[in-house]
Amino acid sequence: MKKLRGLRVAVLAADGFEQVELTAPVKKLERQGAEVTIVSPHKGRIRGMNLLVPGKKVSVDASLREVKAADFDAVFIPGGFVNPDLLRQSALALDFVRDADALDLPMAVICHGPWVLISAGLVEGRAVASWPGIRDDVRNAGGRWVDEPVMRDGNWVSSPGPRQMFAFIKGMVELFAEKMPEVSARAPLVPVRHEAPALWPRLLAGTLATAALGLGARRLALR
């Protein structure tokens, strides 16, 4: 049974995302039936990284100018050194996560991903697990940095990095699954039915047209 069937997940990412931190969670989300959308500050393709080595590119499904947080049921922010640093410099990205948090959307962040939440002014009073290199940033923003494989705080789940990937993915799926009652209750779109026109008007029109042609032919014959 797919736990997340129909759940709309925004994956907020830019160039420089840590490749495994995007691909592994996305694969799990899709296998669980989630509808994943890669959202970025710009359209086109974004480049992943394997630590310091350039990785593969992934296609962007929507730019931040084209969507809003209310279009989704959950948000996932992968890490990497560059990706969250670019995102935190985007006013649209910061507004997106602020709106998502205000809507109480479940949000999953890993590695350096909390940088985006810090710059959005959301970390104060929250418990966050992150890459150890940004623990001072979490604390300076008023958050509580925890050294745990996965940390759940309200509508957030966070994790230090790839070594804790299995725990992070498990925690993410469990958090996102709590949104499913709302997803299941959402009314499906009803396709518009275009009724075929009634048969008798078409038959009547054909009969009249045939009669008109016959009348015309008889008039020509009498000339």
Confidence at residue 186, expressed as pLDDT on a 0 to 100 scale:
82
- Active centre residues (catalytic): 112
CA dihedral 65, 60, 79, 57 (to 10 degrees): -150
Q: What is the pTM of this model?
A: 0.83
- Specify the number of domains making up the chain: 1
- Helix spans in the chain (H): 19-31, 83-87, 91-102, 114-119, 135-140, 165-177, 180-185, 199-222
Residue 120 in any domain: the answer is: yes
pLDDT at residue 208 is higher than 80? no
In a domain, 111, yes or no: yes
**What is the structure's pLDDT at 170?**
98
Segment 140-151 mean pLDDT: 98
What's the whole-number average pLDDT of the chain? 88
Q: Could you report the per-residue pLDDT of 70-88, keeping only the tens digit for each?
A: 999 999 999 999 999 999 9
Q: What is the DSSP letter of 188?
A: P
Structure tokens at 65: 């100018």
Is 47 within the bounds of a domain?
yes
Domain membership of residue 220 (yes or no) is: no
Task: Report if residue 18 sits inside a domain.
Answer: yes
pLDDT of res. 216: 46
Residue 161 lies in domain: 8-179
Q: Is the pLDDT of residue 211 over 80?
A: no
Does 202 fall in a domain? Answer: no
Element (H, E) at 49: strand 45-50
Comparing 61-70, 74-83, 154-163, 200-209, which segment has the lowest mean pLDDT?
Answer: 200-209
Domain at 15, CATH number: 3.40.50.880
Q: Is residue 186 part of a domain?
A: no
Q: Answer whether residue 103 is part of any domain.
A: yes
